[in-house]
Structure 1
Amino acid sequence: MDAEKIIQDLNRRFTAPLPEFYKRRVIFWYDEDREFENQIDEISLNDAKLVKLNGSNCFAIKKLLLMDDTASNYLVYCPVSFEHPEDNWLLNIELYSGEPFRADLNTIWVDEMGLPASQMFRKQVKQYHKFFNSKDRRTKVAAMAGSISMSAQMHLAVMAVICGVKDISPNSIIRAVLKVGLDVENNAIYRGIVNYGAQAAFWALIAQATGYKNTEEQNLAQLATHILLTAATRTLRREYLNGLDSFISTPHQSFCYDFVSDWLHSDDLHDLYKVARIVETEARLYQRFSKLSVEDLRDTECFPCINEVILTKMMTEIKDQIIQVDVIAQTVEKRRTMVWYAFMSSYYEGLLQIAKMQAFFLEHSAGFHTAKAKDIWKEYTTDYYRMDSYYRAFHLCFQRSLKVSNDLLDDLFKHVVEKVEALYSGWYLNGLGSNWSDIAAEELKKHGYIEEVNRHTAFYLSNIQHCDTRVFVIISDALRYEVAASLSEQLRRETQSKVTLDSMCGIFPTITPYGMAALLPHKKLSVQARPNGGLAVLADGQSTESTNRGKLLRAANPASVALQYRNIIGLKRADRQALIKGMEVVYIYHDKIDEASHTSDSSVFPACDEAIEEIKNLVRIIVNEFSGTRILITADHGFLYTYSPLTEDDKVSKNSWNGKEVDYGRRYAIMEKDAQPEYLMPVQFLDGRTDYAAFAPRENVRIKMNGGGLNFVHGGISLQEMVVPLIDYHYIRTDSREYQRNRAKIDTKPVEVSLLSANRKISNMIFSLNFYQKDAVGDNREKANYLLYFADSAGKVVSDTARIIADKTSDTAQERTFRCTFNLKSLSFDNKEIYYLVITDESGLQLPQREEFQIDIASEVDEFKFF
């Protein structure tokens, strides 16, 4: 500050109105650093006299001000400091003279930042002179000035700016340092703390907040270990960490737990992952935790390696032929609400599927011994198909796991695959296939279909021909029954509709030419030998190739059209609408699953999920753009898929065919009438009205032939191939009477959770509450995720956050309960205030629920006075 500016400021103060009863103004100018000592004589004031203290003239100046001249204004320049107040002879005059004047940089900066004009803050600004010698840094501290009233808060503000955070909470500062790395030499933020002289304050803060006191080494890795292990003792018994006591401070458990919990639920999660991995390695936690049980570890989430330990233990048990269904289900239920779950979800969800497969096995441990074909059909379409769904879901998880690659788990998970294959192929497919082949053989030989089951070939006659409304038909190649079951469930939940799932007995052989022909209008299906080999399928003597299907539809109803999904999906709305204008019957052919099989067998299961999404989108287009309300979704055939390579026992040779084959694939053979192939069962072919005979392998056996496609097959008589789904989708418009009458049953809503526990008083820092999912997921009730925490009346969060994944499908209320544990933050609680349990939808689409609570805990929270 130059002399002119100083003179202006002083003259302004001297000319300001005097307080009541004052006759003059005396201003003390302190300049302990003597920054203006050489310029003081240049100071010329309009209406005030200047006197200078030199340390030995205090009495003389006091006499001047009190005796010799009591009328003049005075500026008392004081370049000296007094060690004790009693040494300052002018203290009484100073006290009634008002705020001293200061023109040093420290005072100017304190004033500029809006901080209290106290000696304490001036000293701190002087201490951090290098830091404050930057307009940008001073501006950032000024933004925090409202939170600074104590010395410790000033230190926090300096560190906050160095760390690049916008608040002065110790939590934010410590996290900012640790997330950059644990090597002090290469940690840019920590080097900044050292560079600006704040390291002593930083380690003093660490000692008070976390209890870590080995500050001489300035070891960030030890600090991280201390914080994480201390936090872990909140949910892990202390004796499990014996030998690591020097890294644990029980009195600081709350701060460390809150610190880690906040970090876990922040955007910096990946930084915590790296830090936690370093700590795990240094403290050999994987080896330590491996000695504990799954139940011991289930509730702790500080360390990612806990997931690896839990998964290793469960996978090893499965490898050793032990599948504890309840343990796996309960563990996945608990772990999936935790943050690190996402890193391991493919493994956890894979194990959950094998638990479901094992539960299915236990339900049907007696095997498959149904005596009538129609009864097996019913059991498959109401129950057995679930095993196919579990198997598909498992292999989707397994394929995802190959992309994340975990050295500890990969090989073990491959052993789990072996158990899955044994359950699915060795027990389920063989057992069910044997029962089905034995019981259905007679009807298939006599009729080629199962009596008392809807026939594939009657589809048009039964569903289209006499329909009095416009109907859309989506035919998805190889959409097998269990995939259609998933699709129908999603359509029920996600759309305003009535959806029913039925089945049809697929035409044999269960391959595309026959299946697509069966769905067209016809009186009779026949075959005709092709010049280059094989058979062409005809409907009433007409070709059923894709190019002729529209013609066949128009022959039955002139207002018909056949479209390809791939051709219409990229069109503009108007162009699509033009294609179906005036049409009463619209067939749309979709091919995702079968098409994927031509790329690789392993592409089939992912393609099933993609097919579901594409068909749902197509339904949306039909409803919204075409104003369609009736949609039938079906397929030409299903498929068999097994992951494991097949053995020679799973194949039959063509040695006994004697050249009588006309057309064949892995799962069927069309031969001359007099053929008698070994190991194949006869199936009536096209109602016996041809010159050919048809045969199929039993169970899931394949016919030996050159080429690939051994794992994904269709064409045979297995339930997975022959059960053709039929979804009848009826969209209900909001202006219809049906909607108005049944709105509560039609509108889709997320399921809700509510508090079950009756007690509304909390007396412990750690406590648990029970919750209840009001409705089962299904039909018009969809799953929802909820976040739960406690807050005060101002909305400040006072606990950690629990998570409920409300996706229970059981009709039994007892099986739709959840138990959540909460940890209160290390704060002062007032037992006269109201606190709230907040239950909020994770998607933000529902209004939060609030339940009133009283928190009655005698707690003392230390202010941060660390320096």
Structure 2
Amino acid sequence: MVELNTGEIVERIRTLFAQGKQFVFWYDANADFADNIGEITAQLTQTTIEMLPGEQFKTKLEVLSLEKNGEAALIYSPAKKPGLSQNLMADVERYSVEFTADATVMLREELGLEEKHQQFVVDNMKFFGNKERINKFKALTKERKINNPVIVILAVLAKANGISSLDILKSVIQTDLEDNQALNEFKKFNVYDHFWQGMSSQFGYFTSEPKLKELLSGMLVITAFDQMELDLPSQVNVYQSFAKTNVIAAVSQLMNMANFTSRMKQIADEVWQFINGESVFKNVEMNDLIKSDIFRNFDLKIMDWAATSLVNSELQPNGVDLRFLTHERQDTMYANEYESAYKMIRKAVPVLAGKAFGDYENVEKFAEAYVDTKSGLANIDTSYRKFVDYRWTLDSELFDSFDTLAQRVEQSYLNGFLNPMIKRWSDVYDIKSIESQKLQRNFYRNKVASSKNPVVVIVSDALRFEAGQDLAKFINRENQLSAEVDYMITGVPSVTYFGMPSLLPHEELTYDASVPTVLVDGVKATDLASRELVLQKRNAKSMTIAADKVMSTKTEDLKSEFVGKDVIYVYHNGIDAISDNAKTERKTFEATAQTVSEIQSIIKRLRSANRTNFIVTADHGFIYRDSELDTTDKIDLKPANFMKKAPRYAVSKEKFEQTGVDSVAISDVLDNDQEEIVYYPTSANVFMSQGAGKNYVHGGVSPQEMIVPVIAVHSKRGADTSETVEVQLSPVPHRITSRTIIVSFNQLQPISSDVNGATFEAKFVDQAGDVISSTEVINAFSDDQNPSKRIIKKRFVIADQVYDQTQSYFLIVENVENKQEIIREEFTMDLAITGGFDFDFS
């Protein structure tokens, strides 16, 4: 039975009663309203008598009784009106009135369809026999003129959110392509052929036995070869008849639809098997393959090719810049699955490219070269750290596939960078030649005591310099903060019990071998309480606090605790706590990244407690290697009376010389007259000792262990001066004559601390805002100073449909993050008519 809005029927019946008629007869020949009669009578004040076939006599008796009492009634019969000779109610009907209702007409009017669609309603009464389907139909057609209402039925049955062919196709392919739920519904309601006629009209898919997998195979294959700018090979000539431009535009939109990417990847995997993708694409050159992102197998092949090239020392194979390529691949459909792998490959490039060491005349010149932000040697350590960290995030299969590359990177880092660097550093290291401002032991005097404003010092255990550079970079992206990076050089051994006391105010530092520790003016400073006493001896308005407590304490309580404080030392232990443990040291680089993130959170928390002036530093750095040490990496020290012996240093009062080992007097390190000597390897090797053999070590003489960051962080004064990068459309003809158009965009500024990068989406739309092209992603993150290197070219495919030459069409570009439209450029269309869109509404 049809489900209708019965309000109109009720009003018409009420009108008849209002005209003074006592009885209203309603013969519903097809019982169209049998399911609705209860709803109708509930809205009437008059009695309703339902006269079923064979109940005329019974009904007449009821009517006569009502007549005698002067009561009115609706007599409803879900049957055809009987002939005069068989109609026992004929005499009553002469002084009554008859009501009629055409369900199909009423339904058409309720649906908002024109009279020309009356037969459509009649033909599809089975579909409209459900209130929910009627309501969905009405919702999809609200305030729209519908030329082909069949597509609305398709949309309802497919559970689509719109009535365009793409909306319907998207919903259809949400479920299994073989035993498809939507197609089964189409068959049930006799619109199956209409769906495939639409697919034929829209995408040029003609076959007597249409299949979803075959349709999608053609669409994905055509798009893949178009992305590669290649003709279809003979194996897939069957797809030559497809409407290429419509196919490409549709695939582009499906790939970019929110919450649909996962399903598209599943479909692509099925299609790859269906078409035997290995065979179809076997002759495609890598320089062409890298242009497409349709199938995950492309990414697997690209990553394998890139890794193999790097292993063979080809840093730009086939002229391809792997760093640029891996950036681009992060914007593809499979980016979330392979992002870490591509980042890992990108970080391998600088490690394998290496850095030439200069002839540094002293340790400070070496340190300056190491910390240089543009081309400094520290960048190699960062690249190696991130290479290892990204690799450990991969699933086991991908992880193993990069074994050879990992070995090559490890070899290059250790033998081509770390060992020779430490040797050079050891050659020029002379603590007495280091400027006072750069010595860690003078930190308080140089940085804290000299501050004119209250200051918070965040001491993060083992935060080495290159990680500090990363931290400063992230801080500078904040709208309200600025960070300036400096450095200082620790003493030796470069360990916590030397570094932490050196950061405190003191008149004298003394090495105490019995603990071991370094005494500050004769007292231990090994915990928060003892360090606070040392600080307060110099400035009574000082305090210490653990980073964990900062994060767990309510803001108002922090404000109260900080009232009147000039100096606050916040102690954070993220890296050393994880790394100085054989069971967890593999997570060293993960802990480093986590530390960078946590310090940002600590600063944010402290700012909420009205603190605006910060210094971030560390007690020491570290060396980490991902490969296991072997016996050749270990040094067997000559027998001596060692007060302390660790992998990267040993302390003794005895003097000796040994190949691969150098030493420094503690009296020079702490500026006192003690007799102890610190011995250290002049390479990345370690001493044979208890605990030796670990991958994470510190205590020795190397830039990685000794150069620590000193990051001054301030709240910006006044309005934020940073801005989002601008993208501008390059000059282009505004008359479109081809269904493929290449558009260039200029990234106006290089990315810097004052200019933030951004991702944009670009597409062509009509005046109604409907998308008529592929959607392209613009990533504006280049820091290249050369404007020609910041030109971004994008290729748009215009949908194959009829365009009005008198109408305007627009290229719009919007910021993905804030949805702000930054470009709206008007175009006109001058395209040949090649097909119709009967399947779409107009």
TM-score (norm. length: structure 2): 0.84
Structure 2 residue corresponding to 1:387, chosen from 364, 380, 385: 380
Distance, in Å, in 2 between the alignment partners of 1:427 and 1:131 is: 74
Quick check: 1:289–1:309 contact (8 Å CA) kept in 2?
no
- 5+ residue gaps, structure 1, are 17-28, 50-74, 76-100, 735-742
- In the other structure, the counterpart of 1:263 is 254
Which deviations, in whole Å up to 9, do the C-alpha atoms of 1:628-673 show, x marking residues without a partner? 332111110111111111222211124x123x11112111111123
Aligned to 2:506: 522
Q: What letter corresponds to residue 132 of structure 1 in structure 2?
A: F
Which of 773, 776, 779 is the matching residue for 2:750?
A: 776
Matches within 5 A, 1:228-267: 228-250=220-242, 252-266=243-257, 267=259
Cα distance in 2 between the residues matched to 1:149 and 1:46: 46
Q: Are 2:192 and 1:199 equivalent residues in the alignment?
A: yes
Per-residue CA shift, 1:34-90, capped at 9, x if unaligned?
A: x965547569899999xxxxxxxxxxxxxxxxxxxxxxxxx9xxxxxxxxxxxxxxx
The alpha-carbon distance between structure 1 residues 160 and 48, as it changes in their structure 2 partners (threshold 3 A), is: farther
Question: How far did 1:395 drift?
Answer: 1.8
Matches of 1:481 and 1:865, distance apart in 2: 62
Question: Which letter does structure 2 place at the counterpart of 1:377?
Answer: A
Residue pair 2:29, 2:81 contacting (<8 A) in 1 also:
no
Q: Does residue 534 of structure 2 align to residue 543 of structure 1? A: no
Q: Are 1:328 and 2:322 matched, yes or no? A: yes
1:341 matched to which residue of 2? Answer: 335
Amino acid paired to 2:178 = D
Give the SS at the match of 1:561: strand
Please give the alpha-carbon distance, in whole angstroms, between the structure 1 residues aligned to 2:299 and 2:387. 19
For residues 779-826 of structure 1, give each alpha carbon's deviation from its aligned partner in whole angstroms, at most 9, with x where no partner exists: 222211111222334433332221122111222222222111112223
AA of the residue aligned to 1:603 = K
- Deviation per CA, 1:94-113: give whole Å up to 9, x if none: xxxxxxx9855544543443
The answer as to whether partners of 1:455 and 1:505 remain within 8 angstroms in 2 is: yes
2:362 aligns with one of 349, 353, 372: 372
Aligned to 1:143: 139
Q: Partners of 2:187 and 2:740 in 1: how far apart?
A: 38
Deviations 1:516-573 (A, max 9, x none): 011011122112232xxx5221011111211310011111111111111112210111
Aligned residues: 769
Alignment of 1:352-431 (within 5 A): 352-359=346-353, 361=354, 364=355, 366-382=356-372, 383-402=376-395, 405=396, 407=397, 409-431=398-420
Counterpart residue number, 1:630: 613
Aligned pairs (5 A) from 1:443-592: 443-444=430-431, 447=432, 450-451=434-435, 454-530=438-514, 534-546=515-527, 547-592=529-574
Aligned AA (1:563): I
Counterpart of 1:277 in structure 2: which amino acid? D
**Mapped pair 1:133 → 2:129:** yes
Q: 1:7 touches 1:45 (CA, 8 Å); kept in 2?
A: no
Alignment of 1:156-167 (within 5 A): 156-167=151-162
**2: distance between equivalents of 1:173 and 1:676?**
81
Cα separation, 2, equivalents of 1:132 and 1:200: 19
Q: Would you say 1:182 and 2:214 are equivalent positions?
A: no
Q: Which of 641, 653, 663 is matched with 2:636 structurally?
A: 653
In the TM superposition, what are the counterparts of 1:654-803 in structure 2 within 5 Å? 654=637, 656-658=638-640, 660-676=641-657, 679-687=660-668, 689-707=673-691, 710-734=694-718, 747-803=721-777
| Distance in 2 (alpha carbons) for counterparts of 1:610 and 1:340 | 25
Judge conservation of contact 1:476–1:589 (CA < 8 Å) in 2.
yes
Change (3 A) 1:781 1:8: closer
Q: Provide the residue aligned with 1:432 in structure 2.
A: 421
Separation (CA, whole Å) in 2 of partners of 1:290 and 1:335: 21
Q: Does 1:115 align with 2:113?
A: yes
* Deviation (angstroms), 1:675: 4.9
d(CA) in 2 for partners of 1:594 and 1:798?
Answer: 56
User: Judging changes above 3 Å, is the alpha-carbon distance between structure 1 residues 475 and 192 closer, same or farther for their aligned structure 2 residues?
Assistant: same
Note if contact 1:666-1:702 (Cα within 8 Å) is conserved in structure 2.
Answer: yes
Write the distance in 2 (CA, Å) between the matches of 1:292 and 1:576.
63
Amino acid at match of 1:545: T
**Following TM superposition, by how much is the alpha carbon of 1:591 offset from its aligned partner in structure 2, in angstroms?**
1.0
SS in 2 for 1:662: strand
Equivalent residue letter for 1:264: M
Q: Which residue of 2 aligns with 1:90?
A: none
CA–CA separation in structure 1 for the residues paired with 2:840 and 2:709: 71
**Against the structure 1 CA distance between its residues 615 and 268, is the aligned structure 2 distance closer, same or farther, given a 3 Å change threshold?**
same
CA distance in 1, matches of 2:455, 2:747: 38
CA contact (8 A) 2:248 2:774 kept: no
Report the CA distance shift for 1:799/1:219 in structure 2 as closer, same or farther (over 3 A). Answer: closer
Q: Post-superposition shift, 1:848?
A: 2.8
Give the AA of the match of 1:304: R
> Residue 631 of structure 2 aligns to which amino acid in structure 1?
E
5+ residue gaps, structure 2, are 3-7, 20-27, 33-77
**What residue identity is the alignment partner of 1:691?**
E
Bigger relative contact order, structure 1 or 2, given CA contacts below 8 A and separation 6+?
2
What residue in structure 2 maps to residue 22 of structure 1? Answer: none
**Once the 2 structures are TM-superposed, how far is the Cα of residue 758 of structure 1 from its aligned partner?**
4.5
Question: 2: CA distance between counterparts of 1:357 and 1:102?
Answer: 87
Deviations, residues 395-428 of structure 1 (Å, cap 9, x unaligned): 22212223xx5x4x44332222112112211211
Alpha-carbon distance in 2 for matches of 1:675, 1:865: 90
Flag the 1:570–1:220 CA change in 2: closer, same or farther, 3 A.
same
The one-character-per-residue Cα deviations of 1:137-187 (angstroms, maximum 9, x if unpaired) are: 222223344588777x23212221111113222222222222201122xx2
Aligned amino acid, residue 255 of structure 1: N
Q: Provide the C-alpha distance between the structure 2 equivalents of 1:721 and 1:273, rounded to a whole number of angstroms.
A: 45
Distance in 2 (alpha carbons) for counterparts of 1:46 and 1:780: 91
Per-residue CA distance 1:751-800 (angstroms, 9 max, x = gap): 11112234333322111122222222222222111112223344333322
| Alpha-carbon distance between aligned partners in 2 of 1:142 and 1:499, rounded to the nearest angstrom | 58
Structure 1 residue 264, shift from structure 2 partner: 0.8
Letter in 2 for 1:157: V
Q: Which amino acid aligns with 2:661?
A: L
Identity score, percent:
24
1:371–1:439 Cα contact (<8 Å) kept: yes
8 Å Cα contact 1:286-1:309 kept in structure 2:
no
CA distance in 1, matches of 2:774, 2:840: 25
Residues 201-216 of structure 1 correspond to what in structure 2 (within 5 A)?
Answer: 201-216=194-209
Are 1:317 and 2:324 matched, yes or no?
A: no
User: Counterpart of 1:804?
Assistant: 778
Rounded to whole Å, the distance in 1 between the matches of 2:537 and 2:689 is: 39
Asked if the contact 2:550/2:605 (under 8 Å) is kept, the reply is no
For 1:600, the equivalent position in structure 2 comes to 584
C-alpha distance 847-191 of structure 1, shift in aligned 2 (>3 A): closer
1:240, 1:807 → 2: CA distance? Answer: 34
What is the root-mean-square deviation of aligned Cα atoms in Å? Answer: 3.4
Q: Deviations over 1:686-724 (max 9, x none)?
A: 426223111101121111234477111110111010111
Alpha-carbon shift at residue 126 of structure 1 (Å): 4.3
The alpha-carbon deviation at position 246 of structure 1 amounts to 1.3
CA 1:645/1:133 → structure 2, altered by over 3 Å: closer, same or farther? same
